[in-house]
Amino acid sequence: MKEPDLSPKLSKEQIEVISMYGKIRHAMIGESLIKVGDRNHDLFVVLEGAIAISDDHNNELGIHLPGEFTGNSDSLSARTAIFNAFAQTNAVVLQIPNQQLKEIIASDQELSKVLLRTFLLRRAHELETNVGAIKLLGSRYCAKTFKLREFLSKNHIIYSWIDLEKDDISNTLLAQFGIDVEETPIIIAKDEKIFKNPSIEEIAEVLGLLSVLNEEVYDVIVVGAGPAGLAASVYASSEGLKVITIDNIGPGGQAGASSKIENYLGFPTGISGSELANNAYIQAQKFGCHVSIPRKAKALRFKNNCFHLELDSETVIKGSTVIAATGARYRKLPLENLPLFEGRGVYYGAGNMEAQTISGKEIMIVGGGNSAGQAAIFLATKSSQVHLVIRGENLQKSMSTYLISRIMNNPNIRLHTHSEIIALEGGNWLREVILGNNISKQSTTYPVSDLFLFLGAIPCSEWLTDVTCLDKRGFVYTGRDIPEEGLKQYNWPHRWPPQSLETCLPGLFAVGDIRSGSVKRVASAVGEGSMAVSQVHSFLSRNRIF
């Protein structure tokens, strides 16, 4: 951890500023300052002596000398610490509590720049070197293992995956300790505690992601942490509003599964959806946004002058306004045995996690949009051949030109037009895909065990069905698009019409892919999320009660 970028020295002036937010502490040699598993751990600036950093096995990772400081991106949240910090010598340190750290970042631009840049670089270094990784043991053909990997990856939790299909030693070891296949996957946490076949909620609690909810009334409840929801979270919290953001699995939404987004303004060489989402996630926390994951919205009600958002855990969050940003999910193939293969050969995203198991294999992608095109180009570098399947005669109607050009010039990608999947074959995992041609009426069987589906969009609006007006496909009407009968049905109470992103329930806004008529692009989702905050301010100024 001693690369200059990872351990910058604060100037004398910066230390003077930061000292106003903390207290001087004298630490004896060997004294512990941070332990693996600590939540809401403090940040320490070394004034005299040295602080040593070690991992959960007490392997030394680095030394911080006078002017340097501890911490990483987890310092901004309730996530558990992935490292130990202790006094290597008798030391004098400046101890900054977690909450005061957020105040420093919000109030001092120069310190904010230094701290955030260092935290992000340290996070990248940790991911590259697997520092602080938890261990996941499970089969690549186990759907539960896949869901845990997806959860950990989306939340940028560092983990090592041991594929039991490839590691006979681990299989033998588990058998010797009487652990049956039904008890896998196994997670070994940073404190060495072992979890057999754990739920995502159980692991989230251990990692400090599933933060405790209280009875306070938030200014804004943001439901969904895709690009639209994260943008709303950043802008609302940066403008002093009390914000809570929830998501049922992790930051990024559909965009988070994109290997590279190349047409997003300001990133000429592209940026992965995961990186974009994680940066926004950290940015929201920087401004004080309360993020709790995984939390799934079950139903929304308006009573006693505020919104009551019921979660699937039966917990209720109260807010003055709600921004619905739960987006959309890909459609599924109308095949009876499809659920059997989900997470066992059938996937709805194509990031680094999915790419780990396809080396040297034939794969198949279904879909003609940009997400399918990006997936085909990315996975073509990993697999022996990519079969790209569309029902139309070409890609021009639904895919960006730059992606089409790359696909057509890539010898590793084979385009199947006028085609669709008519059957999936396999036992406990996918083994073959049968493809039918709608013109010739012929079918062909391909030895494909990895199938990626990017088929249209179904809105994730079930939790809003009873409270606002939806179009015939289930997307949420907003602004001028709300039909007159919808306003009457839901008793719009004001003389003025709903704002452009407001639904027919005052104070409920819809942004991004869930909104009827939205442009399914990351940039437009970010724009809507930020624009909704100004409309929240307008609503609150007219209706403020709390």
- pLDDT tens sequence across 71-119: 988 888 888 888 999 999 999 999 999 889 988 988 888 998 898 888 8
User: Other C-beta atoms within 10 Å of 489: how many?
Assistant: 12
Q: Which pLDDT score, from 0 to 100, does residue 199 have? A: 94
- So where are the chain's domains? 12-129, 134-207, 217-329+490-543, 338-453
Instruction: List, for residues 364-385, the tens digit of each pLDDT value.
Output: 999 999 999 999 999 999 999 9
Residue entry with tokens 């965009």? 255
The CATH H-level (homologous superfamily) assignment of domain 12-129 is Jelly Rolls (2.60.120.10)
CB atoms under 10 Å from CB of 366, counted, come to 23
CATH 3.90.740.10 assigned to domain 217-329+490-543? The reply is no
pLDDT of residue 438: 95
C-beta of residue 105 within 8 angstroms of C-beta of residue 115: yes
Whether residue 77 contacts residue 50, with contact meaning beta carbons closer than 8 Å, is answered with no
Nearest to 340 by CA among 174, 137, 48, 141: 141
Burial class, 253, CB count within 10 angstroms (exposed 0-12 / middle 13-18 / buried 19+): buried
- Residue corresponding to tokens 């950290």: 282
**Residues 75, 111 contacting (CB under 8 angstroms):** no
- What string of DSSP letters covers 472-489? TTSPBP-GGGS-HHHHHH
* CA 448 and chain centroid, separation: 28
Neighbouring residues of 128: CB distance < 8 A, sequence distance ≥ 6: none
Look-up: residue for tokens 């606002």?
A: 468
Q: Token pair for residue 398?
A: 């639904």
- Residue 361 DSSP label: -
pTM of the full structure: 0.85
Bridge pairing between strands 362-366 and 451-453 = parallel
- Residue 546: what pLDDT? 40
What pLDDT is recorded for position 207?
87
Q: Which two tokens stand for residue 42?
A: 């403090």
* 338-453 shares the fold of 217-329+490-543: yes
Looking at 3.40.50.300, 3.20.20.70, 3.40.50.720, 3.40.30.10, the CATH number of the domain 134-207 comes to 3.40.30.10
CA distance 391 to 412: 20
What pLDDT, on the 0 to 100 scale, is given for residue 4? 52
Tokens representing residue 496 in the block: 């003025």
- Could you list the mean pLDDT of each consecutive 10-residue stretch along the chain, which spans 546 residues? 74 94 95 91 95 87 94 85 93 93 87 87 79 83 92 90 84 77 85 86 89 87 97 96 95 84 87 90 92 94 94 92 95 94 92 86 95 94 95 92 95 97 94 96 96 93 95 96 94 94 97 94 95 96 66
CATH superfamily of 338-453: FAD/NAD(P)-binding domain (3.50.50.60)
Strands (E), 438-475: 443-446, 451-453, 458-459
